[in-house]
Amino acid sequence: MKIFPAIDIKDKKCVRLIKGDFNNKTEYEISPIDQAGKYRDHGFKNLHIVDLDGALTGKTVNLDIIKEIINKFDLKIEIGGGIRNLESITKYTDVGVEKVILGSAAIKDKNFLKEACEKFPNKIALGLDAKDGYLSVSGWKENSNQLTLDYLKEVNEFGASRLIYTDINRDGMKQSPNFSETEKVAEISNCPVIISGGVSSIDDVKKAKGLKNIEGIIVGKAIYDGDIKLDELAKEIDA
């Protein structure tokens, strides 16, 4: 199973939000580039990055940081945050990003998701962020009134290469991921699923390893707050 340490970037800094709330954020002293190097030095090969500036503006605000991380550390990066057009996807793939995560734009416009999957085969990850079973969009500020599983059934044949499922109520809370809902998503998904939101301990990571159609897990706040040590987490990386 792949382990994705997380870096959320806002104003060129590493930050963590509680339930996606920009007014409830923690800033960390270490820069995104130094944090990526720290992950690489511990043996991690994959990285989950969210451009929070991009989520707010719809532009590839931190493209230069992403490019530097890839060039410097040769990490496989999945990037999300305000990616709303093919031009932004092109910019990211051109600098070597492995997977581009489409969230709100894909939920609001299924045709955009389909076109992106066709134009960028094996490069598109679908980000499904849910609250109480319903998908949320626009930085988790709006409820889409779409049930997660119903939406997934509609787009399952489009060709997304990865699905990232986040339970918003768990995100940043360190109360363990919503394994039961994630399993329901993984059961019907045509592509492998990444667990996201609420990882609190190494036990959550070990539990994820036993689930079907799970490609990996994203770990964020628990690393920054010291609840999970990188040496301990690195032992769970699949060779």
Buried-exposed string 182-214: b where 16+ CB fall within 10 A, e elsewhere: bbbbbeebebbbbbbbbbbebebbebbeebebb
What is the pairing mode between strands 134-137 and 21-28?
A: unpaired
Identity of the residue numbered 220: G
Cβ contact 8:56 at 8 Å: no
* Number of separate helices (H) and strands (E) present in the chain: 11, 12
158 and 181 Cβ atoms separated by less than 8 Å: no
Query: Tokens at residue 14, please?
Result: 């590493």
Residue carrying the six token digits 């990386």: 237
User: Are 52 and 15 a contacting pair, CB within 8 Å?
Assistant: yes
Q: Is there a contact between 140 and 133 (Cβ–Cβ < 8 Å)?
A: no
Largest interatomic CA distance in the chain: 43
Instruction: Return the residue matching tokens 């989950």.
Output: 48
Q: Could you tell me where the DSSP H helices lie in the chain?
A: 32-41, 52-57, 63-73, 86-94, 104-108, 110-119, 148-155, 179-188, 202-208, 221-224, 230-234
Give the number of other Cβ atoms within 10 Å of residue 31's Cβ: 15
Catalytic residues: 8, 129
